[in-house]
């Protein structure tokens, strides 16, 4: 099997199933939550309570659209940050090995001139 091009690998290998699941969850929440809140808020817009109920409902719709645009921009920012982190880590994320034995100080390690 042929090895993918490094650019193709950098653009596609970071999009793991876990990232896909989070992306779908964040998209649903950023779309559904403002819409549901707007529909709930429009229930309280009644002709007897407001001077112009149609204008108030339209104002709520504009606020919902702004909240959806803000949520989607935050999801896009998270997605770009995820890609940057994956590209900076590279193919493997390995740290330095921790030494198995640590240095145990002995009484001879102390400076004898400091004891006087």
Domain boundaries, the chain: 27-90
Q: Tell whether pTM > 0.75.
A: no
Predicted confidence at residue 74, as pLDDT, reads 97
Answer yes or no: are the C-beta atoms of 53 and 47 closer than 8 Å: yes
Answer yes or no: are the C-beta atoms of 27 and 76 closer than 8 Å: no
Predicted confidence at residue 89, as pLDDT, reads 74
Residue pLDDT, tens place only, 104-115: 666 666 665 555
Q: Which residue, among 21, 39, 23, has the nearest Cα to 72 in the 3D structure?
A: 23
Predicted confidence at residue 10, as pLDDT, reads 58
Residue pLDDT, tens place only, 6-57: 666 656 677 788 888 999 999 999 999 999 999 999 998 887 777 888 889 9
């Amino acid at each position: 099997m042929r090895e993918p091009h490094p650019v193709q690998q950098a653009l596609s290998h970071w999009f793991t199933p876990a990232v896909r699941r989070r992306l779908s969850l964040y998209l649903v929440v950023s779309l559904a939550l403002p819409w549901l809140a707007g529909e709930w808020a429009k229930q309280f817009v009644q002709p007897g309570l407001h001077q112009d109920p149609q204008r108030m409902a339209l104002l709520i719709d504009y606020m919902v659209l702004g909240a959806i645009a803000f949520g989607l921009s935050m999801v896009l920012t998270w997605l770009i940050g995820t890609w940057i982190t994956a590209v900076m880590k590279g193919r493997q994320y390995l740290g330095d090995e921790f030494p198995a034995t640590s240095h145990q100080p002995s009484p001879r390690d102390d400076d004898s001139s400091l004891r006087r």
